[in-house]
Amino acid sequence: MTKLLSMNRRNFLQASAAGVLAGSMPGVMSSPAAAQIALTVGFIYVGPKDDYGYNQAHAEGAAVIKAMPGVTLVEEENVPETVDVQKTMESMINLDGATLLFPTSFGYFDPHMLAMAAKYPDIQFRHCGGLWQEGKNPANTGSYFGYIFQGQYLNGIAAGHATKSKKIGFIAAKPIPQVLQNINAFLLGARTVDPTITCQVIFTGEWSLAVKEAEATNALADQGADVITCHVDSPKVVVETGAGRGAFICGYHANQSSLAPEKYLTGAEWAWGNVYSDFIKRAQAGEKLGNFVRGGLKDGFVKMSALGAGVSEAGRKAFEATQADMMKGGFSVFKGPLKDNKGDTVVAADKSYAEDAIELESMNYLVEGVVGSTA
């Protein structure tokens, strides 16, 4: 069941939050039987839920738990990464009785979610990304994320088989570790096909800037990139603009194949429904929620779009063989010898990082062959 939100949610103020919480929490936690049947969960999105991207992927995951017994789902979209999100969280707690909140956008974490977690220590907050730190952040907070760079590596294999110019392109929002992982993995996947392939990256500076994303896509096409992917909130503009310029597309976040059916090779998608349903089952059972939750393809955190018509038979075989290896676990996307695009060794010849390597959480370089800068 889903509660409809009033238009003034962010303006809702409750003088006595403690009183409301005292009334709502016992119904959820006072007995194992009650814990199984009553849980109100809040989801907050920085953009629209139908953006063909980041927000849609989370909303699809939320829709999975909406159908679970005993779950009441409350949602709000288009909430900026400002104090507005604090108001939204507070009203979900005080007005709706939410005891588990998923503020999904990167910028919601600090200071906004942390401020609410300190104010409401009995409420559980889980944030998408890699920002939670043990010993530093409150115990009622945590983070969850997936090794979606595995999907971008598979995107790169499809791209490597499709490119004629040997130039592929990547449009990125910000040079944070998760984005750099994706850029690097995309090129490394392509270079398993042809080690001379290069990747031009353009950073827009924000998660959602449609005009700059269109300009960047056109710039990549002008420079000869004939396969393009991205890491922005909504890939819609990149997909439609790139396909309009004749480039093949590799998707990200959600399935964008309907936007460019002839040019869509495949895409790295989130499978948040699996992740969220596990959180809900644990919460309903009164179990402790994980503070640092991670997983990849084999764990059901990530999935791939179906291969499109533009993927050759050789590309299909290479893609499927690598995907099968990843599903076994322990696959190393980043292995030495590996240099960054400044010529410095970043992974020694005798080193390799499996998908769960903690070193990847702080990646700050672009690999050799990526044309662009993190500055």
CATH of the domain at 128: 3.40.50.2300
Q: What's 96's DSSP letter?
A: T
**Angle (deg, nearest 10), helices 83-94 and 17-29:** 60
Q: Is residue 127 located within the same domain as residue 254?
A: no
Pair (195, 138) in one structural domain: no
By residue range, what is the domain housing residue 167? Answer: 148-269+304-371
Helix (H, G, I), strand (E, B) or coil at 306: coil
The domain boundary residue, chosen from 89, 121, 146: 146
Domain membership of residue 57 (yes or no) is yes
93 and 161 fall within a common domain: no
Query: For 261, which DSSP code?
Result: T
Residues 354, 258 within the same domain: yes
Judge if 178 and 308 occupy the same domain.
yes
Within a domain: residue 208?
yes
Confidence at residue 375, expressed as pLDDT on a 0 to 100 scale: 59
Report the number of distinct structural domains present in the chain: 2
141 and 152 assigned to the same domain = no
Q: Is residue 217 part of a domain?
A: yes
| pLDDT tens for each residue of the chain, 375 residues long | 333 343 345 444 433 333 333 333 333 333 344 445 689 999 999 999 999 999 999 999 999 999 999 999 999 999 999 999 999 999 999 999 999 999 999 999 999 999 999 999 999 999 998 899 999 999 999 999 999 999 999 999 999 999 999 999 999 999 999 999 999 999 999 999 999 999 999 999 999 999 999 999 999 999 999 999 999 999 999 999 999 999 999 999 999 999 999 999 999 999 999 999 999 999 999 999 999 999 999 999 999 999 999 999 999 999 999 999 999 988 999 999 999 999 999 999 999 998 878 788 889 999 999 999 875
Residue 367 phi/psi, 5-degree rounding, is -75, 165
- Do both 363 and 220 map to the same domain? yes
- Of 119, 146, 173, the last residue of a domain is 146
Together in a domain, 244 and 229: yes
**315 neighbors 297 (Cβ within 8 angstroms):** no
The pLDDT value given to residue 201 = 98
Domain boundary among 126, 146, 166: 146
Question: Do both 134 and 164 map to the same domain?
Answer: no
- The pLDDT value recorded for residue 162 is 98
Residue 111 and residue 162 share a domain: no
In a domain, 189, yes or no: yes
CB 334 within 8 A of CB 352: yes
Virtual torsion, Cα 279, 282, 285, 289, nearest 10 deg: -100
In this prediction, residue 38 carries a pLDDT of: 87
Strand 71-76 versus strand 227-231 pairing type: unpaired
Shared-domain flag, residues 62 and 109: yes
